Amino acid sequence: MIYNTILCLGDSQTYGSRDEYNRAWPFELCDMMSEEYKQNWIPIVRARPGFTSADLLRNVYNWILGINTYKVIVLIGTNDAKPKVATPSIVFKKNLIGTLRTIEVLLPIAKLYLCTIPDLGIFGSPDFNKGSQQLINNFNSIISFLANRNNHISLIDLCEIPKQCYADTVHFNNSGALEIAKRVKEKIEEEY
């Protein structure tokens, strides 16, 4: 296993879509870790804009096969809340359990971190409606439940990110990437 790598799985929020510097929270996180601990940290980003929990489930095996890392961070679910997708909560839960199962089989000693889905921002988007936030709240309850029932998984709360950190309804500017990186770093440090 390679200690100083962090595998980050997700959708456009992890990919860094709309970050004005074309960065993302995984890169900001590893910069923070490298600077503070005076050792090199690198992210392994496996994320695609538009991905849902089902897309992640279908791709996670190939994405992580052969990767050696001690830390895996999962942030997925925003696209499941789009009205045209509207993944039922039970299906979202099955997708997430399947993804976590795959990670645990392929990376049995890796520490897993499961992020809650950030709230929708203040800007309008035709891809989301008022019911989208309720779906996100339902998904976050599932994420919290899964993290709390498994000692091998830690929960990272990404709710209530300041509105100035958003570039649009769901994506983050670089300030948002820094805010998410800070929260992830704090959770990782809590466990040492």
Residue 159 has pLDDT above 60, yes or no: yes
Q: What is the predicted pLDDT for the residue at 124? A: 61
Residue 161 carries which DSSP code?
A: -
User: How would residue 191 be classed by pLDDT, with cut points 50, 70 and 90?
Assistant: confident
May I ask the CATH class of domain 5-190? alpha beta
Cross-strand bridge partners of residue 46: 9
Tell me how far apart the alpha carbons of residues 10 and 55 are, in angstroms, rounded to a whole number: 10
Residue 75 has pLDDT above 70, yes or no: yes
Question: Would you call 4 helix, strand, or coil by DSSP?
Answer: coil
Cβ atoms 172, 180 nearer than 8 A: yes
- Tell me the average pLDDT of the chain: 94
Residue pLDDT, tens place only, 107-136: 998 999 999 999 998 766 678 888 899 999
Residue 187 has pLDDT above 90, yes or no: yes
Q: What is the predicted pLDDT for the residue at 129? A: 84
Q: What is the predicted pLDDT for the residue at 128? A: 82
Question: How confident is the model over 50-59, as a mean pLDDT?
Answer: 98
Q: Where are the domains of the chain?
A: 5-190
Q: What is the predicted pLDDT for the residue at 150? A: 83
Say which residue the tokens 């809650």 belong to. 116
- Looking at 65-173, list the stretches that DSSP marks H as alpha helix, in order from N- to C-terminal side: 89-106, 130-148
Cβ atoms 187, 32 nearer than 8 A: no
Q: How many CB atoms lie within 10 A of CB 83?
A: 13
User: How would residue 84 be classed by pLDDT, with cut points 50, 70 and 90?
Assistant: very high
Cross-strand bridge partners of residue 72: 7, 112
